Structure 1
């Protein structure tokens, strides 16, 4: 399916990365379980948080080490799906999976305190969306895809800035989240707007932009970083990325831009609904707190 049958198990599932992700997941359960008593104010972690963390890890693994990652090297549509899953879906799930007491312990570490400026709403939104858009300039994208170390470092940087971008909306620390519902709504729309130019550039381009998906030699070199064996053998066997693509290169590129924007819209629309729901609950709670107090004063005056 989509050419996956031509690749080995190692190519498809990246055993080393899978082992790393399993190790991190195991460490998470050890920390929130046997080691939790070493943390101040620790308490049992609800099943929902555990499920959220595991789902985040599974999605991140599939996007960066599983079959979707390999497909992202053969079709631009899957590349954009990988980006959306890695930076718009996985980070909030992982963040919501960490209990409050663990977040406090993490943020108490001195180096993390220096990131507070970058977590400010506008700063975080501009940095993440700026880095994401810059990465999708054709020259930058092709360079990153052809240089393994730069590729990994850039993806780590994108993930860190994605966490900072999500912090305003996911902030799990009671009393620390001072952003109002109205401000969060504006912040969501800001992120949606900032990503639109990059998606628009991709969707409305009149020709293929990325050599990684249009030039067989560049494609083979990029594939050399995610599959075993000699990249030149890929050219001999398949001739280039068009062998795997069910669409033309231009249409694949356009669909990729649409997929990215569509996933972003769904994610932020659901987050917008979450913000409105919590905003509504908070407003009703304040009204309910005021009414009994007024009734109490009236009763005392009558007495």
Structure 2
């Protein structure tokens, strides 16, 4: 497949402009949290762990949105589902944990943004918003629409990403005001509910008995989807010279098999991520430090001794 993908050219494979955008984000983070932090009244640099999580997030962002993986998402639904799992579930966690609290506070505690965030981070709203948008996105007519228009594609992906951030805020918000769920049991129910609500979209894709998306099953719609990342002159040249007709030219799987595998992978990756968060919640709840019995207050001990 790799040799076949080379046909699409360097720009389609490696998205140099997107690479520059991601690199700019990294440089901006370094400057704001490093040499320029004193201008914001901050003394401490982010921890090594925070910096590692942030830069790891940027690397993953480029891999799924700028490397050949992004091209593959327009060829196979399996690659698309891997992209969505990392982009919407893993990447927001890394950014939330990697960006220092004081940056979040300066951005989110602005009067208007603060009021909006109070509403959107309410657990019931955030969980329905994310899973509702995710399911809506994978309705065939909406999915095919986003694959046929750069404007719809970019807009819907940005909206989904914002919802992907919001859904984690109730249990891991860097700003305490938006961390609505503090008790471990509440966090467990919230994560479990999130896992349940994302299941219908995966089930629809896994158990469908026919291809759902024209972007992978119709040659015309597929060419339109490729145009989202392949330059027009390259695509037109390939269409005439090599007579590319559909994703089956680049994959050994049938369209239906690819669709089923994509749904399975999305569910597995989502369960692994949520399971990891659950394990962390359980550990913090039942860790030896959390289970220690608080000593009796000094005043109580003294009172008993007097008696």
Distance 1:56 1:174 in 2: 23
Q: Does 1:242 pair with 2:248?
A: yes
Listed as ranges, the matches of 1:208-227 within 5 Å are 208-227=211-230
Q: Distance in 1 between matches of 2:39 and 2:283?
A: 35
Is 1:263 the equivalent of 2:269? yes
Matched, 1:84 2:85: yes
Whole-angstrom distance in 1 between the partners of 2:210 and 2:71: 24
Is the Cα contact below 8 Å between 1:39 and 1:101 reproduced in 2?
no
Deviations 1:212-264 (A, max 9, x none): 10111111111112012343434342222110122000000000000000000
Is the CA contact (8 Å cut-off) linking 2:122 and 2:180 kept in structure 1?
no
- Deviation of 1:40 after TM superposition, in Å, equals 4.2
Alpha carbon RMSD of aligned pairs, Å?
Answer: 1.9
Asked whether 1:254 is paired with 2:260, we answer yes
SS at match of 1:172: coil
User: Which residue pairs with 1:158 in the alignment?
Assistant: 160
Q: What does residue range 13-24 of structure 1 map to in structure 2 within 5 Å? A: 13-24=14-25
Q: TM-score, normalised by structure 1?
A: 0.93
Match of 2:156, SS state, is helix
Q: Following TM superposition, by how much is the alpha carbon of 1:182 offset from its aligned partner in structure 2, in angstroms?
A: 0.7
The answer to which of 271-280 and 84-93 deviates more is 271-280
Q: Which deviates more, 221-230 or 258-267?
A: 221-230
SS in 1 for 2:209: coil
Q: Distance in 1 between matches of 2:202 and 2:245?
A: 29
In 1, Cα distance between equivalents of 2:121 and 2:67: 30
Residue segments in structure 1 that go unaligned for 5+ positions in a row: none
Question: Contact conserved, 2:78 with 2:258, CA < 8 A, in 1?
Answer: yes
The TM-score, its normalising length taken from structure 2, stands at 0.92
8 Å contact 1:63–1:82 — kept in the other structure? yes
Number of the residue aligned with 1:291: 295
Instruction: Assess if the C-alpha contact under 8 Å between 2:117 and 2:178 holds in 1.
Output: no
Q: Which moved more, 1:249-258 or 1:31-40?
A: 31-40
Residue 118 of structure 2 is matched in structure 1 by: 116
